[in-house]
Structure 1
Amino acid sequence: MNGGGAGPTAVLVVAVGVLVSCGVRLLLERSLTRILLGIVLLGNGVNLLIMMGGRSGGAPVVGAGPVDRMSDPLPQAMVLTSIVITFGLTAFLLAVAYRSWYLTGDDEVPDDVEDRQIVRRAERDEVATADLGGEGPGADPEQVDPEPARRRLRRGDGVA
């Protein structure tokens, strides 16, 4: 930010836009390495955006200077928290990418079996069979028995 406190400069706004747009573009890739780089770029862009929201000035320490000339400490605390969260997410994704590379020799995220089935059905304009219900609680294992177990015990039926 500039020293006059008038707001962010055009260079910072463009830098935030470039970092966030490149980060989002890399997040949409299938390679875990590119996704990792996208998270790092996106995190840095958001951190810069948060810092642009604060007031510039001196150190936010009581007694270090006049209160009206101090910088806003809240964006600094938020960026510090964001850095820690981004670092943890980066470490986790790096471990996942390493494990994927170790097991498969590739860091590309494969399609799920369900995704392939959905694509095949979409190509044939086929609708998935829907569970229309109507079987009743005894015939459908997904249904929950509406009668509580205590009532069955009082009647002497026992618990299934």
Structure 2
Amino acid sequence: MESLMIVVAGVLVTVATYLMLSKNIIRIILGTAILTHAVHLLLLTMGDLSADNVPIIREGRTTYADALPQALILTSIVISFGITAFFLVLAYQAFKKTGTDNLDKMRGNYYE
């Protein structure tokens, strides 16, 4: 199961890299959002995926799940949501001001 999750995280990183290399600002924002989800999946995979382990230590239990990756992922989800919302508002304001979402046209380096 871990191998499948690592492959899925790798595919997500590949898709995110492709989107972030685009000149469209919305694609860049979506690429960063997908990249954060890939990191969340990778952290979850590193934190042991077995359903038999519980995060509470009790008498008689020798194995338990580490709750730290889950806490890191929850914190990261909140931070990435806030950053994505900020980037979307920033992109909207830039589109309103410039009339385009192409980064080359926004810089003034676009030659037709």
TM over 0.5: yes
Question: Could you tell me which of 14, 34, 37 is aligned with 1:21?
Answer: 14
Cα–Cα, structure 1 residues 20 and 94, in superposed 2: closer, same or farther, change >3 Å?
same
Map 1:108-123; keep pairs closer than 5 Å. 108-110=102-104, 112=107
Rg larger for? 1
Answering whether residue 74 of structure 2 is matched by residue 94 of structure 1, we say: no
Question: Could you tell me which of 20, 42, 53 is aligned with 1:58?
Answer: 53
The code of the aligned residue for 2:103 comes to: V
RMSD after superposition: 2.1
* Cα displacement (A) at 1:94: 0.3
Question: Could you tell me which of 23, 26, 43 is aligned with 1:33?
Answer: 26
The code of the aligned residue for 2:92 comes to: Y
* Cα displacement (A) at 1:70: 2.1
Q: Output the TM-score relative to the length of structure 1.
A: 0.58
Flag the structure with higher helix content: 2
Aligned to 2:101: 107
Structure 2: unaligned runs, 5 residues or longer: none
Structure 1: unaligned runs, 5 residues or longer: 2-7, 117-160
Q: Using the alignment, how far apart are the partners of 2:25 and 2:61 within structure 1?
A: 47
Percent identity between matched residues is: 39
Q: Retained in 1: the 8 A contact 2:57–2:64?
A: no
Q: Which has the higher contact order (CA 8 A, sep 6+)?
A: 2
* Structure 1 SS opposite 2:62: helix
The alignment covers a number of residue pairs equal to 106
Q: Output the TM-score relative to the length of structure 2.
A: 0.80
